[in-house]
């Protein structure tokens, strides 16, 4: 073959594979590993949702749905978002059902970005944000949130990086990987910066159902923010439906119709059987969600208390299912900590540096595992930190 040039686009060639994968691969080749590494619920989707999908197949619903998703599902999403989070979206024109929140983030970015426009991403954050901004032709501008602020951004940190090219701020509350939950007043402080500089906010609210101490506030419910918010959510976390690949995006009509153009050409629609499952989950799933929330809350309290007791200082995460302790007392970097912990104690966690610069010195421990597994993992982690603590 006479290949004279690279077939791979430069921006893809330059992209690093996800740092989380490397640890998954290492751990999957070992026996007896307890994984606190995964970012997904350990619960199985509720039976009623599974049954609804099975029934849809039995009844032969195997074709495409409308591009933005079944109207009945969009109507249910609309009333759910209103009931739970006090935000109003027209099911006919302001909601798109997507292939996971992942695709919702992708089409949101692609719909708004001209080449080289900038999106502020608040690190440590979900590993997909910056690569998706790049793939959409924009430039991610990282801002380092800090441990002393519980990894919540300060308005002056945003002001310091805003340029004429800034188009949007990407936020995530409760956050992966830190679990931090932004209060209404903290959201307002970010909103004021967005309003002052006429920016959009992409608000990743995928963990909104998993808040343990306070009511959730959506960015779109903050005064005058509805017009400039693209609200990302989905079924993966709150409804334990990661494998169904079902999410949604809510936004004002002009933005929604722009995203719909991309969605209809690239995906057509979200999987039909998954849409039936999602519809049922919204209709009848609130008790299941409540049970899972209670269970996560109990596990969070155990994990955070134990981590602090072993000298790995950790703020109380208000939501999601991650603890993000400081591991500097061991004298190890986050990569060294995660690698040694895996090799010596067979516990998998994710090194904080994969989520951004200020994640260094921390590890992400997911508590979406059974209490017994968590207890055993914490015992092993205590032995490990006792050995390394300086
Ligand atoms: N946003 C955040 C913050 C996440 O943690 C994840 C999944 N890890 C996603 C989006 C993607 O979720 P989905 O399964 O709905 O694509």
Q: In sequence order, what are the residues at sequence separation of 6 or more whose Cβ sits closer than 8 angstroms to the Cβ of residue 151?
A: 124, 145, 175, 178, 180, 324, 358
175 lines ligand 1 (CB under 6 A): no
- At 390 the pLDDT is 74
Residue in 102, 133, 267 to alter for ligand 1 test, most ligand atoms within 8 A of Cβ:
102
Q: Is 118 helix (H, G, I), strand (E, B) or coil?
A: strand
Tell me the C-alpha distance between 215 and 238, whole Å: 15
Q: What is the pLDDT of residues 287-336, one digit of tens each?
A: 999 999 999 999 999 999 999 999 999 999 999 999 999 999 999 999 99
Same domain, 125 and 170: yes
End residue of a domain, out of 266, 284, 302: 284
The structure tokens 């039976």 sit at: 47
102 lines ligand 1 (CB under 6 A): yes
Tokens (6 digits) for 131: 């690569």
- At 167 the pLDDT is 98
| Mean pLDDT within 384-390 | 90
38 lines ligand 1 (CB under 6 A): no
CATH number (domain holding residue 317): 3.90.1150.10
Same domain, 202 and 324: no
Tell me the C-alpha distance between 377 and 303, whole Å: 10
* Percent of the chain clearing pLDDT 90 (strictly above): 92
- Evaluate whether residue 358 is within a structural domain: yes
- Evaluate whether residue 3 is within a structural domain: no
235 lines ligand 1 (CB under 6 A): no
What's the domain count of the chain? Answer: 2
Same domain, 323 and 246: no
Residue in 132, 176, 366 to alter for ligand 1 test, most ligand atoms within 8 A of Cβ:
176
Neighbours of 20 (CB within 10 A): 18
End-to-end alpha-carbon separation of the chain, Å?
Answer: 57
Tokens (6 digits) for 156: 């002056």
Neighbours of 165 (CB within 10 A): 13
Same domain, 110 and 184: yes
Given a contact cutoff of 8 angstroms between Cβ atoms, the answer to whether 390 and 330 are in contact is yes
Q: How confident is the model at residue 25 (pLDDT cuts 50, 70, 90)?
A: confident
The structure tokens 């979200």 sit at: 270
Tell me the C-alpha distance between 96 and 10, whole Å: 31
- At 19 the pLDDT is 73
100 lines ligand 1 (CB under 6 A): yes
Same domain, 228 and 269: yes
Looking at the predicted structure, is the pLDDT value of residue 24 above 80?
Answer: no
Average pLDDT of the residues of the chain: 96
- Evaluate whether residue 1 is within a structural domain: no
**Which residues are paired to 250 by β-bridges?**
95, 231
Tokens (6 digits) for 274: 């998954």
End residue of a domain, out of 284, 319, 353: 284
101 lines ligand 1 (CB under 6 A): yes
Strands 118-123 and 139-144: parallel
Domain that residue 201 falls in? 47-284
Neighbours of 328 (CB within 10 A): 17
Looking at the predicted structure, is the pLDDT value of residue 389 above 90?
Answer: no
pTM of the entire predicted model: 0.97
The structure tokens 């307890």 sit at: 34
CATH number (domain holding residue 109): 3.40.640.10
| Mean pLDDT within 112-133 | 97
What is the distance in A from the centroid of ligand 1 to the CA of 123? 16
Given a contact cutoff of 8 angstroms between Cβ atoms, the answer to whether 241 and 45 are in contact is yes
Same domain, 194 and 148: yes
Q: What is the pLDDT of residues 75-117, one digit of tens each?
A: 999 999 999 999 999 999 999 999 999 999 999 999 999 999 9
Same domain, 294 and 182: no
């Amino acid at each position: 073959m006479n290949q004279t040039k690279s077939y791979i686009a430069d921006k893809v060639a330059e992209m690093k594979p996800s740092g989380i994968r490397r640890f998954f691969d290492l751990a999957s080749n070992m026996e007896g590993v307890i994984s606190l590494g995964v970012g997904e619920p350990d619960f199985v989707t509720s039976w009623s949702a599974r049954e609804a999908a099975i029934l849809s197949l039995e009844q032969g619903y195997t074709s495409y749905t409308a591009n933005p998703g079944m109207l009945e599902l969009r109507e249910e999403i609309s009333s759910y978002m209103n009931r739970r989070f006090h935000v109003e979206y027209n099911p006919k024109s302001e909601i798109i059902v997507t292939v996971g929140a992942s695709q919702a983030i992708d089409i949101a970015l692609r719909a708004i970005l001209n080449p080289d426009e900038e999106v502020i991403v608040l690190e440590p954050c979900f590993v997909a944000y910056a690569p998706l901004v790049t793939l959409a032709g924009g430039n991610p501008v990282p801002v380092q949130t800090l441990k002393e602020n519980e990894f919540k951004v300060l308005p002056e940190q945003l002001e310091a990086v805003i340029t004429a090219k800034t188009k949007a701020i990407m936020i995530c509350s409760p956050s992966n990987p830190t679990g931090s939950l932004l209060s209404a007043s903290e959201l307002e402080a970010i909103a004021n910066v967005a309003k002052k500089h006429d920016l959009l906010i992409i608000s990743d609210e995928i963990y909104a159902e998993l808040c343990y101490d306070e009511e959730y506030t959506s960015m779109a419910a903050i005064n005058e923010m509805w017009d400039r918010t693209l609200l990302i959510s989905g079924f993966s976390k709150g409804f334990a439906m990661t494998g169904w690949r079902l999410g949604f995006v809510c936004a004002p009509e002009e933005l929604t119709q722009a995203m719909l153009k991309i969605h209809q050409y690239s995906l057509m629609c979200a999987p039909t059987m998954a849409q039936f499952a999602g519809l049922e989950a919204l209709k009848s799933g609130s008790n299941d969600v409540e049970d899972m929330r209670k269970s996560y809350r109990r596990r969070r309290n155990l994990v955070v208390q134990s981590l602090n007791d072993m000298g790995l200082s950790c703020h109380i995460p208000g939501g999601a299912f991650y603890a993000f302790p400081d591991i500097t007392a061991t004298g190890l970097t986050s990569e060294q900590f995660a690698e040694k912990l895996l090799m010596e104690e067979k516990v998998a966690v994710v090194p904080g540096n994969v989520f951004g610069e200020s994640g260094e010195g921390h590890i992400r421990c997911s508590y979406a595992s059974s209490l017994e597994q968590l207890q055993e993992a914490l015992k092993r982690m205590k032995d490990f930190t006792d050995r390394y603590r300086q």
